[in-house]
Amino acid sequence: MLRTTLAGLLAHKLRLLLTAVAITLGVGFISGTFVLTDTMEQGVAKTFAKSAGKVDVAILPSRGAGKGPDDETGIPADVLRKVRGLPGVTDAQGAVRGEAALVGKDGKTVGDYPTFGLSVPTGRLLRFDVDKGRAPSGAAEAVLNQEVADRAGYKVGDAVTVLDHAGRPHRFSVVGIVDFGIDNEVSAQGGVGFDATTAQAMTGRKSYTEIDVLGPDRAAVAAAVGGSYEVLTGDGLAKRLAKGAGADTEIIRTGLLIFGLVAMLVSALVIYNTFSILIAQRMREMALLRCVGATRRQVFGGVLVESAVVGLVGSLLGILAGIGLGAGAVAALSRFASEVPVSGLAFAGRTVVVGLAVGVTVTVLSALLPARAATRVPPVAALRSELEPGGGRFRLGRVRTALTVLLGAAGLALGGLGSLQMGKGPTAMYVVALGGGVFFLAVVTGMPALVRPFGRVAGAIPARLGGVPGRLAVENARRTPRRTATTTIALTVGVGLMSLFAVVAASSKATSAAKLAEQYPVEFQVEARGGAGPGRDSGGVVPHALAETLAKRPEFAQVFEVLGKDTEIGGRSVTVASLTGRALGTVLKPRIEAGSEAALKPGGLQPGTVLVDKLIANRNGLSAGRTVQLKTAHGTVPVKIAAVYTSPAPVGEVLVPEADFRRYFGAPGQSAIYIQDKDGVPPEAARRVVEDAARPYPTAKVYSGAEFEESVSNAIDMMLMIFGGLLGLAIVIALFGIANTLTLSVVERTRESALLRALGLTRRQLRRMLSVEALVMAVIGASTGVVLGIAFGWAATRAMAEGSVFSLPYLQVVGFVVLAGAAGTVAAVMPARRAAKASIVESLATD
């Protein structure tokens, strides 16, 4: 029986190849994921091992301990002095890290956030790679990391200005370009390196983030510093750093493997359908084997052996394809993300084991039901000609009907629970996702019964426009509902997920636009660079002179400042704010929850009164009409709470009149300028005016609501494009399934096609018939996926967050169906050409 099975496989090489394609693509994706992430981890580990290998012992702050001067988190200087006095210590240096803003050639600080000021070790403890020049030495020298040097246009030998922790400018000579290693913060914001003394002066830090030691063993250092700090060997430090950097690769691997599992699910559906068709076509062959003595067990085993061989061949090809995919991804990573080190291609034995195990297991499991069906072929079937299996009207049995209804109801219930009943957030979204998965199982179970009505709708236009070939194609798709359902459901998975992500992305953009309109009711905002962007406290002060300059410009209808100061009210820490001019109640309009509505009218907030945010009021037990003590620069003063408010725009936790704010605190601790332009002023012209006015102030950063919304939209579009590319693999596999089904169907309907040709159907009409059949199947699958994607995309949007706005991307949804139909038609080209080339006489003679 084994020899018969293997001989049958060798006799039908094309069938073997078509069946193996789906598993090849799925295994290739999974193998490529392992190759990519293993290579990344190897590069990260080698980089950190090389860096930490220069250190004998490292001292790190422990969580909840190691407070330095002024309550700084870190390692105090006296620990470094103690370590330097230990026997056997040849060198010990502390690492300093803080903010030190680099000023660009345009006079503005570089980037949206201040660059980091770092200490660069000397001697053997120099762990950073100096790419150009040398390490800094002395109070007038500095080095830059490559990213910030490229961004600002600086090179070795240039003079640069750096602002210290108090905002004072200092001039330095760039003596080197240094690679600070895999440091996400430094890569994003940039780094400026100094010697240790200068780094402390520039950053204002008095404690160290790490102490590196040469000479003694770990036990001696640990005994000297006590249990308040973590003491590691150089190898331990390398593992710690590599593990910390490797967390991202674990996330990447998990995310990619999820898409790989989706691809394998689609592959399983394609393989199941393929084996079902093959068994149906080989009924007489199976019956002949039974006639000559083959038992049911042998027939069952033969089909499983065939599936295992197909799975093995497909998996081996998939592993080879995965190596190619991984190599391509590594090359792209090296080119576009040079901060992630890669050193050669990592190919672990686990990749082979997992690839083979997944591929063979999925293929064999997918073939179990078809193999069981093969054992039911009676020997007498070899003596008669059977009608095509699966034809006629399909009806769900009682068990299948009950299962479909049960799964459908459970899926809808879970989706409704997550979107309508539960609190918004990740848990609710997980429940919606579970509901979507359960409902999809209901669709899989009941899809054969829906193929005929769905086919009538999907094929209405092709049947009307395609003439006789079009009508024949629609009926061909509808007459084998079980086969068509299994073929189309694979496409439903891919298109459904694509539609889901498209709906969530469009809704996220609509939600962010709505939130931005509430939180950012003006065209421009100027903050101290280093803030968190529109709608957030900057933590710095914008010069009042800039607000005065902008207020005089004819392009702007209103310019006002939001002043802030961290203080205490009723003994609790809060941020007190004030709005200058007449902005309160006109541009920024909080909603009064309790107290006097008159407080929001221009000039309505009286001296000695305050407005309190509802969240702060509830947290601290405050209420309208109550008098509390406010801590000011001159002591505490009593203030009366005029009202409790809520506001989508950030106007502070406690609002006071402008005159009171200046009397209480003098200068603000943080401030921002809000600018509303006049109607008819072009946004570009207004932006230029604001930028020109802010140019003399290095730390002033201009934010535009429209630009911020565009950046959010671009980020979401990029995410959708990435997801779309990954899910595209599942759609490609599904299209191979359609092509595979049609190819096997052409073989099965050889005599039927020849008879149609004999009755007058031309080759062109035959090709059109098969193409329309593929089109109808693709539209059925894509349309079902779109409906599911939209429905659960709506549920996911409702579960995402309070105030989420649902948005349906009509053009994208229609595009998915059109592209799926076009791709399905293309997938039918080869099978249609094969059918059209067949000889009529030879095909009619085929038994």
pLDDT for residue 202: 93
Name the burial class of residue 16, with classes exposed (0-12), middle (13-18) and buried (19+) by CB atoms within 10 angstroms of its CB.
middle
Per-residue CA distances from 218 to 129, 221, 392, 475 (Å): 26, 5, 79, 79
User: What is the value of pTM for the model shown?
Assistant: 0.70
pLDDT for residue 160: 94
**Half-sphere exposure for 239 (CA within 13 Å, toward CB):** 5
pLDDT for residue 538: 41
Q: Which of 471, 476, 465, 473 is nearest to 772 (CA)?
A: 473
pLDDT for residue 7: 58
How would DSSP label each residue in 797-830?
A: HHHH-TT------HHHHHHHHHHHHHHHHHHTHH
Tokens of 484: 């068509």
Tokens of 523: 């065209």
> What are the two backbone dihedrals, phi and then psi, of residue 556, each rounded to the nearest 5 degrees?
-110, 135
Average pLDDT per block of 10 residues along the chain, 847 residues long: 57 63 78 79 70 83 54 79 89 91 86 86 86 91 91 91 88 92 75 93 90 88 85 82 61 70 76 72 67 74 80 86 81 63 73 86 81 70 49 65 88 85 79 86 84 83 81 81 79 84 85 72 76 43 85 87 86 84 77 81 81 85 86 88 80 85 84 85 85 83 73 71 71 75 69 78 83 86 89 86 82 85 80 75 61
Q: Which of 698, 814, 701 is nearest to 108 (CA)?
A: 698
CA distance 499 to 784: 11
pLDDT for residue 283: 66
Per-residue CA distances from 350 to 43, 198, 282, 319, 526 (Å): 18, 49, 38, 11, 54
CB 113 within 8 A of CB 538: no
CB 664 within 8 A of CB 656: yes
pLDDT for residue 535: 37
Tokens of 253: 């691997």
CA distance 296 to 373: 10
CA distance 208 to 195: 13
User: What does DSSP say about strands 159-163 and 191-194: parallel, antiparallel, or unpaired?
Assistant: unpaired
> What is the domain partition of the chain in residue ranges?
1-54+251-386, 97-204, 543-696
pLDDT for residue 3: 64
pLDDT for residue 271: 77
